[in-house]
Amino acid sequence: MFVKLSHNLSKNDPGWPGFPTYDYTPLTQISKGDVAYTYSITLFNHFGTHFDAPKHYNDEGLRITKLPLDTFIYEKPLLLEIKKSYEEFVTPSDLEPYADQLREADLLMIRSGFVSKRKEDPEGFAKRGPAFSADAAKYVMDNFKLKAIAVDWISLASYAYPDDGTLAHQYLFGKYHDHYTCIIEDACFEEIVGKKIKRVYAFPLMLEDVDSAQVTVIAEVE
């Protein structure tokens, strides 16, 4: 059985404050006498569920099209329930009890529960989300070799704590280490709770010359 962990893109979804989101313009329409439907799409590459490659915060890092393909396949995914609300940090103390599991994992998925605010409170979801702290990012990089971390809020960083968010991204993207961990932001894990997760696959848009891009994430579960 396969379950989608990414959101469909909608013009009405919350986005990072101050940046564009997603829009489209019909070019041809069957309903207006054309032979096919076609659209022109405008899309901010960090809107919706998206995959952050190291280039995003590390100028020496790889762009999304340069990552090895196995970066997007996770044979040992780990889902942790770490409840967080507005402007709360994920810290090393949240992760330390799972150290043995993290050593075996290649993907860490954090179910904070904040995904419910995406529709209940879109402005709060965008501006006051949780954050994966810089201390937590350093702890991960010092101790584990994860391919990626996926979160169910808008960004690894919180809009409320920009400096800490910058440092957290820099840690994960290998600015201070000899390896990197990619990031999947604005995901949803509600449909895999209580299920055995066999594998997770991430299928990003392969856009040349940009750091990151939208991604479809699929879990194979039992």
pLDDT mean values, one per 10 residues, the chain (222 residues):
97 96 97 98 97 97 97 98 98 98 98 98 98 98 98 98 98 97 98 97 97 98 96
| Residue entry with tokens 């829009």 | 23
Of the CATH numbers 3.50.30.50, 3.40.50.2020, 3.30.70.141, 1.10.10.60, which one belongs to the domain with range 2-6+45-221? 3.50.30.50
Q: What is the pLDDT of residue 197?
A: 98
User: Strand ranges (DSSP E) for 22-134?
Assistant: 22-28, 38-43, 50-52, 73-74, 77-81, 89-90, 107-111, 131-132
Q: What is the pLDDT of residue 87?
A: 98
Question: What are the start-end ranges of the H helices in 32-112?
Answer: 92-95, 99-104
Q: What is the pLDDT of residue 93?
A: 98
- SS3 percent helix, strand, coil of the chain, rounded to 5, is 30, 30, 45
- Contact in structure between 15 and 47 (CB atoms under 8 Å): yes
Q: What is the pLDDT of residue 26?
A: 97
The contacts of residue 98 (CB under 8 Å, 6+ apart) are 78, 80
CB-CB neighbours of 67 under 10 Å? 20
Q: What is the pLDDT of residue 38?
A: 98
Q: What is the pLDDT of residue 11?
A: 92
Structure letter (DSSP) for residue 187: B
Q: What is the pLDDT of residue 96?
A: 98
Q: What is the pLDDT of residue 9?
A: 96
How far apart CA 54 and CA 73 sit, in angstroms, is: 17
Q: What is the pLDDT of residue 179?
A: 97
Task: Determine phi and psi for 208, rounding to 5 degrees.
Answer: -65, 145
- Contact in structure between 222 and 1 (CB atoms under 8 Å): yes
